[in-house]
Structure formats: structure tokens, C-alpha cells
Amino acid sequence: MTAVRLRPRSATAIGLVSLTGLVAFGWPLVVAPGAGLAQSGPAAWLFVVMLPLLLAVALAEISEDGVDAKAIALLGVLSAIGAALRPLGTGVAGFEPLFFVLVHGGRVLGRGFGYLLGSVTMFASALLTAGVGPWLPFQILGAAWVGFFAGCLPRLSGRAEIAMLSGYGATAAFIYGSLQNLALWPFATGVSSSIAYEPGAPITGNLGRFVAFDLATSMGFDVPRAVTTAVLVALTGRPVLLALRRAARRAAFEAPVEFRRP
């Protein structure tokens, strides 16, 4: 059951935002020494530019009748649950329980819904935890991708589906952490010169530096996050998937609305 149907305009908006995000994440590996991106200012500009783009995705969906009232209500409930869960992991190494909500939501309700769920959940949780800053657009886009690709997984059922979702959740949570680290890396201070970002260095050289930086600073967060997500997906998979599928059937998102006189 697809809660949010991706029509051409909304699919194009998601593609443009994702392409912008890939550039935003990957520029440290290819930027020239004298380029403006070598300074710390562009991170703040990305915050200003990317949030409206992410909002435009939701507006494009609604303007094309891609999201009905029932889908919006379900989006609000799930994003509120995810936002409420995120503070539980604050200050605890790698424990971030919100990702299993994105995995289950994207799996059952489709890639478009998963994209919106990741975006809204991360933005709401940032407001809830006072986590608004230049890092927020990277977090929003990373969470949106987690929900989106959960909706792209192949059809399976039973234990095979749970195993697939657990493996996906672990992989997605780990990659999410590495991407956030890549966004932080050029602006990190007080790190060894052997793992620090070097503007204008060859791609292979900076890639090696980043891998060393990631291993030195984030493995204690990325691995626990991946394990936590996999365990939560496995433990909650059957009941949550059943509940979401039951809600999706009752909502009948794709059914035409008919008004009848009493």
C-alpha cells in the first residue's frame, strides 16, 4: 500500500534535493584549495538552502494530491514517535532508537512516505532537543534516505523479511553515521594532521585521511547505532509491521473518495 505516490514533479524534487545532498556530503574529497567551499561558511549556507528544498518536496507532494489527509495524519503520528524516541539516545554512545521507525514506516508505506517521514522526524526531533544548527540539513537528508530506501527493498515475508530489514537497518544506520562524519570532517579542529582534511589533496589521499578519521572518532558510535537499529527492527518487526499494514488497509490511501447522501 503506497501512502504517498511519487508523481513526476515530486520525484524530480526528491532527485534534485538528493543530488544537492550528495554534493554537500562529498565536496571535501574533490574541492580545489582556493575554492570558497574550503572555508567554514558554506556549511551555514547549506542550512539555509537545503531546508527550503526539503520543504519543497513536501509541498510538491501535497500540491499534486500525492498526500491525502489520512497519510498526513499517519505521518504526524509516526514522526512524533520518532522525535520522542530520539532524546532517549542523547549522550549515550551510538544508541539512537529512532531509525527502526523509519525502516518500518518506509517499508510498509512506500518510499515517498519514507522520505517524508525521515525528513519530518529529524526536523521535529531537532526542535525538541535544541539541535538546530548547520549540521541539521545533513541529518535531515540522511534520515530521509533511510526511509526512502527502506521503501525500495524487494518483497519478502515472514522471517526472511525481518532478517532483510534488520540487515538493512544496520547498514543504513552505519552509513548514516559515516555520512554525518564526512560532513563534519573538514571543520573538525584539534585532530592529528595525518587524519585532518587537506584542501586540494588528491582524492585518494583525502579518502584515506577520512577513513582514518572515521575509525578514530566514530566507530564507538556507528557500530552501536547499527547494532541497536538491527536489534530493534528484529524485536519490533512482526508487531509493528502488522500494525502499520492494518492501518494502511483501513486507510485505503489509493481508494477514490466517494460522497453519498444519507
Give me the chain's average pLDDT, please: 81
Q: Could you report the per-residue pLDDT of 198-237, keeping only the tens digit for each?
A: 777 778 888 888 898 888 888 888 888 899 999 999 999 9
Q: Where exactly are the structural domains of the chain?
A: 8-251
Residue ranges in the chain assigned as alpha helix (H): 8-26, 41-63, 69-85, 99-109, 111-128, 136-150, 158-184, 203-217, 219-251
Range in 61-65, 77-81, 105-109, 148-152 with the lowest mean pLDDT? 61-65
In tens, the pLDDT along 111-120 reads 888 998 998 8
pTM of the model: 0.85
Task: Calculate the CA dihedral of residues 136, 140, 142, 146 and round it to 10 degrees.
Answer: 150
- The amino acid occupying position 230 is A
Q: Which fold has domain 8-251?
A: Arp2/3 complex 21 kDa subunit ARPC3 (1.10.1760)
Query: Which one has a higher pLDDT value, 235 or 2?
Result: 235
Instruction: Quote the cell numbers at residue 83.
Output: 522525535
Q: How far is 117 from 109, CA to CA, in rounded Å?
A: 10
Position with higher pLDDT, 225 vs 58: 225
Cα separation of 101 and 75, whole Å?
A: 11
